[in-house]
Structure 1
């Protein structure tokens, strides 16, 4: 099997090219193509174009691998490796001209269920921020050429990020969950791009992050970043609305955060 480092190298190259396309299209002006789950959950023409580019480049580099993308669905492969792709994570930020968006590309094995797969390589590239977070299984997590690690303590309280779903029926439950987490928090952040939330935990910019309703492409690369940066990550059973829960943090905070939310 191809080494995780080789897969990481492919992901970095493609994510960089895809990010430049996304950045260029943003400068030319955004066209809203459709809504996804709700009218507030938009997809832009750039999402589709960027995913098409990523899929084309991966097919050329790794024609026998599988693919799972937010915009164009899935395709089975024969190698056991599947590429899980979010072309523009943080589409609403992107559409409004905010820099907190990213291209997320990961290579996983053992299926496409975040609860059971094993990630081999992951890249979160933020073109507007000029930052590329990368990880390969067993090789640590990196921001550019600098190795990154999670925070291991938060004596003044933890800086915790979360997100709210687009479905108004879920907001009361999400706010109740946030209330349970607040005793652990120094403050709360709502960045609007799960891949960056995860990358920022890996880099020690956040102490922890949790959110319900994420999709496999939202977390595939970012969870590996956290794990390789010395943190812990969990993917928990769906709620009444079918939304699984992701929790990530440094080792000590992780148990406290998970317990506060779920117990």
Structure 2
């Protein structure tokens, strides 16, 4: 496993635990990324990866055999290594927690990018303790860039060559000078609502980026390659790890109190503490704080 910059202060068991959870998430995410790369190479060597996919919520919302294989690997590893922990996975894993720790797993965040060969998809593995986001890791599978964080211990990016640095989000205060990341849903009605919001926001910001992975969007807020991020309808597995990474870099992250059927179109957004008040007002003026079904 790559070296993580932040070292845990052995003051109490809680601090020790969140660092252990961070390091475990980072190690397991790297293993899953290696599996995904291998399986993608095997499939594309003999045909089109789209022939190995199905759809979920709509005809444009895919899941591939590799998503399923990666989740099975992650779930199997957790159940072997930490048998009392709970698991919530995008592709159906649902294991109750006996330890108080639950792992939130997105085996491939950015599946459309994965299918088309665009190098922006990630494994996201977040840890919750008694309902609180406490640690996580996100790895860009193609670039090998690993983001990780534990509550109270900062956020780190580790590159493929093994070098690491601490993450700090940008401190822009003016939305007009801010680069904003966003994403779009998979249903016609949600996309129509998101398009209306985008039409209001675009003239009032520096520019918009649509990268295709909510997990990576939050990591980009953390590293300062975008100033803010917002999106409707993301799921807990999309952002559980990114929430901790962004917050530990100095960002404010606003999410539903709990992900339920009532939150299916709720807003998630993140920005630096300096930008957050003005960005929140901008979102409200554009109607973005309303639920979009």
Give the TM-score, by structure 1 length. 0.92
CA contact (8 A) 2:179 2:227 kept: yes
Q: Which moved more, 1:2-11 or 1:64-73?
A: 2-11
**What pairs with 1:177-192 in structure 2 (closer than 5 Å)?**
177-192=197-212
The 8 Å contact of residues 65 and 76 in structure 1, kept in 2 or not, is answered as yes
Unaligned stretches of 5+ in structure 2? 1-13, 159-163, 286-293
For residue 88 of structure 2, what is the aligned residue in structure 1?
A: 68
Cα contact 1:154–1:207 (8 A) shared by 2: no
The answer to whether the aligner puts 1:14 opposite 2:36 as a matched pair is no
1:29-44 → structure 2 map (5 Å cutoff): 29=44, 30=49, 31-44=51-64
Alignment partner of 1:137 is 2:151? yes
Contact kept, 8 Å, 1:180 with 1:261, in 2: the verdict is no
Q: 1:125 to 1:244 in 2, by over 3 A?
A: same
Match of 2:172 in 1: 153
Q: 1:175 aligns with which of 186, 195, 199?
A: 195
The whole-number CA distance in structure 1 between the counterparts of 2:187 and 2:196 is: 15
Q: What secondary structure is seen at the aligned counterpart in 2 of 1:83?
A: strand
Q: Which residue of 2 aligns with 1:247?
A: 269
Q: CA deviation at 1:33?
A: 3.0
Q: How many residues align?
A: 257
Q: Which runs of 4+ in 1 moved over 6 A?
A: 237-241
Return the offset for 1:23.
Answer: 1.1
What stretches of structure 1 of length at least 5 have no aligned partner? 111-116
Aligned-residue CA RMSD in angstroms? Answer: 1.9
TM-aligned CA deviation for residue 239 of structure 1: 11
Match of 2:217 in 1: 197
CA contact under 8 A between 1:247 and 1:254: conserved in structure 2? Answer: no
More strand by share: 1
> Structure 1 109/183 Cα, relative in aligned 2: closer, same or farther at 3 Å?
farther
Q: Structure 1 residues 183, 256: closer, same or farther in 2, change over 3 A?
A: farther
Normalising by the residue count of structure 2, what TM-score does the alignment of the two structures yield? 0.83
1:85-164 correspondence to structure 2 within 5 Å: 85-110=105-130, 117-144=131-158, 145-153=164-172, 157-164=177-184
